[in-house]
Structure 1
Amino acid sequence: MIQPAITGSGVFTPESIITNDELVVAFNAYADRVNAENADAIAAGEVEAVPHSSAEFIVSASGIEQRYVMDKDGVLDPDRMFPKLNARPDDAPSIMAEMAVAAIETALAQAGRDASEVDLVICAASNHERAYPAIAVEIQNLIGAGGFAFDMNVACSSATFGIQAAADMVRAGSVQCAIVVNPEICSAHLEWRDRDCHFIFGDVATAVVIEPAANAKGAHFMIHGTRCATEYSNNIRNNNGFLRRTHDQMDDRRDMQFMQNGRKVFKEVLPMVSAHILGHLQDTGWTPDDLKRLWLHQANKTMNDFIGKKVLGRTPIAGEQPNILQDYANTSSAGSIIAFSKYSSDLTLGDRGVICSFGAGYSVGSVLVQRA
């Protein structure tokens, strides 16, 4: 059996940043306008006033301090409050593919590979720009890769599920060099006018190169095991399925955008994820004490702190469980890969860690890796 390894990783970060303070100014301006328009109904108790947000509330609820977005002006326009992502001509690269190529270039450079050596591209993301042709096939064409490509969507677990699929194919010998790329335009399916969630998401793209460890050209991470699990739940849902809304749809049904029952998610997902990781470790012959690092899904700092403590049996020390939430916010499937890409180069030969993502579905995926 061929030993698969992650030989390169890359992150594409958009240029535009929205700080909590900037976001709060826009949201509160929107709230003031809506409340003024509905003043009589609010006074009569027929309509609830839209409450103000604050930077302190956002940090307390999530640990997020800012987020990167593909379009800042549209989000911060109190009369609009969603990104301006205009449809491109059919003969132009899609937004997701453009983001993906940038992340892939970094990952291939780290792996010492040329795109022509790639024979599998998996585009794994929580929302796709179109139904078909597959974004992955477009990416394959743009970078000049061979082989085949396909899209995958398991919401926030898409990256780890994609890694399992690619690692299995490398292990079986059906592919020699795979790319799993996660272009996440989360800003387009977020309801920026909802105080309970208007701060959650940001945009980013990540990529990893997976190939036989024997072919690695430098330092790499052997994949010692992957495990995925799903359990149906409506507590995190997006009925829309498309990235963009038009101006005429600004007052569309609330349930067509990102929705979640945060308290139920917290109560139900955290035990599921902790048990998943611990079971995966045990079945692989590893113990929590073997882990030098946990690269967890970046949805909420409190959630990650809880999982880290459950898995390790103690409070993680500095650097053991890196968070990137404060800078990137929740980037769906890409979050754990951002953490891995930015906080893995310092590990030494033999060091072990786990990449884990979890989210809607419910879904959870874990990848056990070792520095080599």
Structure 2
Amino acid sequence: MAIYSKITAAGQYVPQRVVTNDELATIMETSDEWIQAHTGIVTRHFAMDDENTSALATQVAQQLLTKSGLAASAIDLIIVTTITPDALTPATACLVQANIGADNAFAFDMSAACAGFTFGLSTADKFIRSGQYQNVMVISAEVNSKMMDFKDRTAAVFFGDGAGGVLLQPTTEPAENSILAEKLQTQGNATVIHSGRVQPITAISASNYPQTDAFYQAGREVFKFATTVVPTQMTTLLQTAQVTPKDLQYVICHQANLRIIEQIAAKLDLPMAKFPHNVQKFGNTSSAGVAMALASVFDQLTGPVLLTAFGGGLAYGSILIQK
């Protein structure tokens, strides 16, 4: 008997600290007018003090337990997608496991930059379909603020912190299958977007200490990629699935920049009303953006939804889902 994946709960969380464009303008050469005109972003939330990536992800995990009515002991697998982990090791997912007491689960992180949620969702689907796992959490969480160079206005004004995620469970009913079609791709490009690079040592010395670099993106190249290559992937997937853009209830894009979302909507010839977006309030929350936008409309879903995300790698993925 075939086993399918069903998305049964969704959640999202942002830290309390709100950072306005005007506040950023006091520490770098920019303005509220410029940021809104170029990105559509008005505010973003920053995690402060001890609220690291695992803390944001834990908030979402607790929501998923509450909404599903499951005990933490029932969780089999926790996947956290992030490019801003608490540490290189242990995995942020393991910290979430400990925080919620999911003693029977195993946990690991995935790094696919802003495409992380689509890559994580696809991976979780395969674990469910194997028949060995019943309750799988996919949580995308980012504390982008800790990786920013606040002298670099080409990147720092875009990003915010947040987390979102879903719970997947098995079903043997084809009509309940949530994962309808998918396409994941990478280009093997390490220059357009990068963050946290750790360089090899140049000498054996007591003064040597590991250091990482701040987040960097070539904004114009990212914009061109997101408005040309990504829509092509989206339309190809829809054609393969024999679904037209007008059949979609929603299209949930990576929340990188409102102007990119507007361009994608135009290329698909769809109204912006079909594109749930949170980038104005939360900024670019990297892999968390799609998960958070999905959570915001999850209770309203009645038809097919196209999720699409893109980021460093260059990684990009589109998944056609239904509730």
TM over 0.5: yes
Q: Indicate yes or no: 2:147 matched with 1:195.
A: no
Asked whether the equivalents of residues 336 and 355 of structure 1 are also in contact (C-alpha less than 8 Å), the reply is yes
Question: Helix, strand or coil: the match of 1:299?
Answer: coil
Aligned to 1:152: 110
| Matched letter for residue 54 of structure 1 | S
CA distance in 1, matches of 2:65, 2:180: 22
Q: CA deviation at 1:240?
A: 3.5
> 2-side partners of 1:293 and 1:221: how far apart?
17
Amino acid at match of 2:23: E
Aligned to 1:69: 46
Q: How does 1:39-78 map to 2 (within 5 A)?
A: 52-71=29-48
Structure 1's 285 and 112: CA in aligned 2 closer, same or farther, altered over 3 A?
farther
How many residue pairs match? The answer is: 308
1:354 Cα offset (Å): 1.0
Out of 123, 131, 141, the residue aligned to residue 173 of structure 1 is 131
Query: Partners in 2 of 1:213 and 1:353 — Cα distance?
Result: 19
Alignment of 1:11-30 (within 5 A): 11-27=12-28
CA contact (8 A) 2:163 2:291 kept: no
Match of 2:295 in 1: 341
CA distance in 2 between partners of 1:128 and 1:239 (Å): 10
In the alignment, residue 174 of structure 1 is paired with which amino acid?
Q
After superposition, residues 127-276 of structure 1 pair within 5 angstroms as 127-145=84-102, 146-213=104-171, 222-233=178-189, 234-240=191-197, 256-276=213-233
Partner of 1:362: 314
CA distance in 2, matches of 1:143, 1:166: 19
- 2:183 alignment partner, SS class: strand
Partner of 2:271 in structure 1?
A: 316
For the residue of structure 2 that corresponds to 1:210, the secondary structure is strand
TM norm structure 1:
0.78
Superposed CA offset, 1:230-288 (max 9, x none) = 0022111124469xxxxxxxxxx9x9211111111222332221111111112222221
Question: Does the 8 Å contact 1:8/1:109 carry over to 2?
Answer: no
Q: Secondary structure at the match of 1:322?
A: coil
Alignment of 1:273-352 (within 5 A): 273-310=230-267, 312=268, 314-318=269-273, 320-348=274-302, 351-352=303-304
Aligned with 1:98 (options 36, 50, 55): 55
CA contact (8 A) 1:126 1:155 kept: yes
The secondary structure found in structure 1 opposite 2:145 is helix
What is the DSSP-based 3-state SS (H/G/I as helix, E as strand, rest coil) of the residue aligned with 1:59? Answer: helix
CA distance in 2 between counterparts of 1:288 and 1:309 reads 11
* Aligned counterparts of 1:344 and 1:102: Cα–Cα separation in 2: 18
Unaligned runs of 5+ in 2: 200-210
Deviation per CA, 1:177-219: give whole Å up to 9, x if none: 100112200001111112222211111111210111459xxxx
Deviates more, 1:137-146 or 1:55-64: 137-146
Q: Look up the match of 1:42.
A: none
Residues 37-59 of structure 1: per-residue CA shift (max 9 Å, x gap)? xxxxxxxxxxxxxxx31100000
CA contact (8 A) 1:127 1:153 kept: no
Q: Give the deviation of 1:26 after TM superposition.
A: 3.2
Shift in Å, 1:11: 0.9
| SS of structure 2 residue aligned to 1:6 | strand
Aligned-residue RMSD, C-alpha: 2.2
Give the TM-score normalised by the residue count of structure 2.
Answer: 0.89
**After the TM superposition, which segments of 4 or more aligned residues of structure 1 sit over 4 Å from their partners?**
none
Residue 119 (structure 1) aligns with: 76
Amino acid at match of 2:180: H
Q: Which has the larger radius of gyration?
A: 1
Q: Structure 1: any 5+ residue segments left out of the alignment?
A: 28-51, 72-84, 87-93, 243-252
Do the aligned partners of residues 174 and 153 (structure 1) sit closer, same or farther apart at CA in structure 2, a change above 3 Å counting? same
AA aligned opposite 1:178? V
> By how many angstroms is 1:21 displaced?
1.4
SS of alignment partner, residue 183 of structure 1: strand
